[in-house]
Amino acid sequence: MTTPLRLGIAGLGTVGAGVVKIVQTHADLLARRGGRPVVISAVSARTRDKDRGVDLSSYDWEDDPVVLARRDDVDVFLELMGGPDGPAKAATEAALAAGKDVVTANKAMLALHGQALAEAAEAAGRVIRFEAAVAGGIPVVKALTEGLAGNQISRVMGVMNGTCNYILTRMESAGLPYQTVFDEANALGYLEADPTLDVGGIDAGHKLALLAAIAFGTKVDFDAIEIEGIERISIDDIRHAADMGFRIKLLGVAQMTGRGLEQRMSPCLVPASSPLGTLENATNMVVLEGDAVGQIVLRGAGAGEGPTASAVMSDVMDIARGIRVATFGQPATGLQDARPARATAAAPYYLRIALEDKPGALAKIATALGEAGISIDRMRQYQHAETTAPVLIVTHKTTRDALDHARAGFAKTGVMVGEPVAIRIEKL
């Protein structure tokens, strides 16, 4: 009989329990497709007695994931605990040192330590696979490392955090303010224990850093990503965007330019009729552009037990079949240091500004824009509050540097109430 592929699973939360269900439910299917049985030898989690909806009685239990990672009856260590450091990193390092392959869903760990871990895997003759770390059930890592391996990638962009997309589309469809929908999402269990990982754009930034490394052959550089979350998006912004034929998305963009690697995660206006504009609720979408293939769009569930466990098992099945791909699609020692670059391509911007309600206030803002070399495409003033005058401005194409210069000018006018909201309008 063919030797089974033996798994050790650390972390039995939503994803870990989902993996156990797949192995138990589809044992025959996995054996046929992988060419060998796939079995679970042992598991580990913080609490042993919790009801996880799966039968774990036939598996050995290890309280320490590092001990699990070193077991002789484990061929592939599944790190499904999460966290950038601590037990997840220690157990992953132990698994590689013990000659195990690693499958993980941990985008934070790889975004911060991916280069060192990839080099450790290469030195040990092992692989680290992480399809589940980016965009849930969407096979975007495999698309870049395998399906598009013959392409020079020009741009990667997408909506990579389902919670943010849920909040933004729910605000629009229900006409609800940000805080109300935020509280709703939290009650539904959509938010991380630290919500800023989601709404602050950090979770999505981790994912973008990993895709950029694969796409452009560079070392993972999460610190170089310009990150802005959705916390300042108001229901008024949502409505104004809809009036202009746009929708607001937390959009990640990575592209190699003459100045270096541009990586940004920020709210953008996208055409409502575009693939990204039609994306609803917690769905993710990644757009890849290559010189041979052109543009392809991958869309699907970005989180949840089934989709993420499915992605974990896709990596396990590749290992069962003997398919071995370098962590970031090419040898880690050959990855280049990325030269960070700010967004240099000109684009229109949406500006929402609150001004003191007094004569000449709007003229001062227009002057500050003109002095920064920015022309106004359209402008609208809305019903006044008691002491403030809300103004909406859409600029002609300009650069972020020019916009920052204009915002510095706004601050000197003495008519601003609070900080302006500036959102790039992304043409797709």
Write out pLDDT tens, residues 336-376: 998 888 777 789 999 999 898 888 888 999 999 999 999 99
Q: SS3 for 380?
A: strand
Q: Which domain holds residue 394?
A: 349-425
**Does the residue 317 lie in any domain?**
no
Per-residue pLDDT tens over the stretch 48-59: 989 999 999 999
Name the residue among 276, 269, 273 with its Cα closest to residue 248.
269
409 and 362 housed in the same domain: yes
The pairs formed by 50-58 with CB atoms below 8 angstroms and a separation of 24 or more are 50/12, 52/12, 52/16, 52/17, 52/20, 53/17, 53/21, 54/17, 54/20, 54/21, 54/24, 55/24, 56/12, 56/20
pLDDT at 165: 95
Per-residue pLDDT tens over the stretch 13-26: 999 999 999 999 99
User: Rounded CA gap, 324 and 318, in Å?
Assistant: 7
Percentage with pLDDT > 70 across the chain: 99
Q: SS3 for 53?
A: coil
195 and 266 housed in the same domain: yes
Q: What is the mean pLDDT of residues 89-95?
A: 98
pLDDT at 312: 97
For the chain, how big is the Rg over CA atoms in Å? 24
Q: Hey, what are 322's tokens? A: 């003997």
- Residue 356 phi/psi, 5° resolution? -65, 140
**Does the residue 315 lie in any domain?**
no
Per-residue pLDDT tens over the stretch 197-220: 999 999 999 999 999 999 999 999
268 and 369 housed in the same domain: no
**Does the residue 237 lie in any domain?**
yes
CB 10 within 8 Å of CB 65 = yes
- Other Cβ atoms less than 10 A from the Cβ of 282: the count is 22
CB 302 within 8 Å of CB 283 = yes
Percentage with pLDDT > 90 across the chain: 82
- 188 confidence band (pLDDT: 50, 70, 90): confident
229 and 283 housed in the same domain: yes
Please report, for the domain that includes residue 360, its CATH number.
Answer: 3.30.70.260
- Residue 126 phi/psi, 5° resolution? -115, 175
Strands 260-271 and 340-341, bridge-based pairing = parallel
CA distances from residue 243 to 144, 149, 167, 412 in whole angstroms, order as listed: 36, 41, 19, 31
96 and 145 housed in the same domain: no
- Largest distance between two CA atoms of the chain: 86
**Does the residue 131 lie in any domain?**
no
Torsion of CA 107, 113, 114, 120, to 10 degrees: -140
pLDDT score of 383 more than 80: no
**Does the residue 321 lie in any domain?**
no
In the β-sheet with 128-129, what is the strand arrangement from edge to edge?
A: 60-61, 38-44, 5-10, 76-79, 101-104, 128-129
Name the residue among 26, 121, 25 with its Cα closest to residue 79.
121
Q: What is the mean pLDDT of residues 9-14?
A: 95
- Name the catalytic one among 89, 100, 107, 207: 207
pLDDT at 179: 95
CA neighbours within 13 Å on the CB side: how many for 402? 19
**Does the residue 360 lie in any domain?**
yes
171 and 266 housed in the same domain: yes
pLDDT at 384: 66
50 among known catalytic residues: no
Name the residue among 12, 364, 361, 296 with its Cα closest to residue 138.
296
pLDDT score of 7 more than 60: yes
297 and 398 housed in the same domain: no
Per-residue pLDDT tens over the stretch 229-268: 999 999 999 999 998 899 999 999 999 988 889 999 999 9
User: Rounded CA gap, 18 and 32, in Å?
Assistant: 20
**Does the residue 60 lie in any domain?**
yes
Q: Any idea which residue has 């055409």 for tokens?
A: 271
- 85 confidence band (pLDDT: 50, 70, 90): very high
Q: What is the mean pLDDT of residues 285-314?
A: 93
pLDDT at 386: 67
Q: Which residues of 404-423 are buried (b: 16+ CB within 10 A; e: fewer)?
A: ebbbebbeebebbbeebbbb
146 and 293 housed in the same domain: yes
**Does the residue 21 lie in any domain?**
yes
Q: Hey, what are 60's tokens? A: 């050995």
User: Rounded CA gap, 134 and 220, in Å?
Assistant: 14
Mean of all residue pLDDT scores within the chain: 93
293 and 398 housed in the same domain: no
Q: What is the mean pLDDT of residues 175-189?
A: 91
pLDDT at 380: 85
148 and 285 housed in the same domain: yes
Q: What is the dihedral sign for C-alpha 122, 14, 142, 315?
A: positive
The count of structural domains within the chain is 3
User: Rounded CA gap, 63 and 41, in Å?
Assistant: 14
187 and 240 housed in the same domain: yes
Q: Any idea which residue has 């992953």 for tokens?
A: 92
3-state helix, strand, coil in the chain (%, to 5): 40, 25, 35
Element (DSSP H or E) covering residue 412: helix 400-413
Please report, for the domain that includes residue 57, its CATH number.
Answer: 3.40.50.720
pLDDT at 385: 63
Q: SS3 for 303?
A: coil
The single-letter DSSP state of residue 382 is P
Q: Which residues of 247-268 are buried (b: 16+ CB within 10 A; e: fewer)?
A: bbbbbbbbbbeeeebbbbbbbb
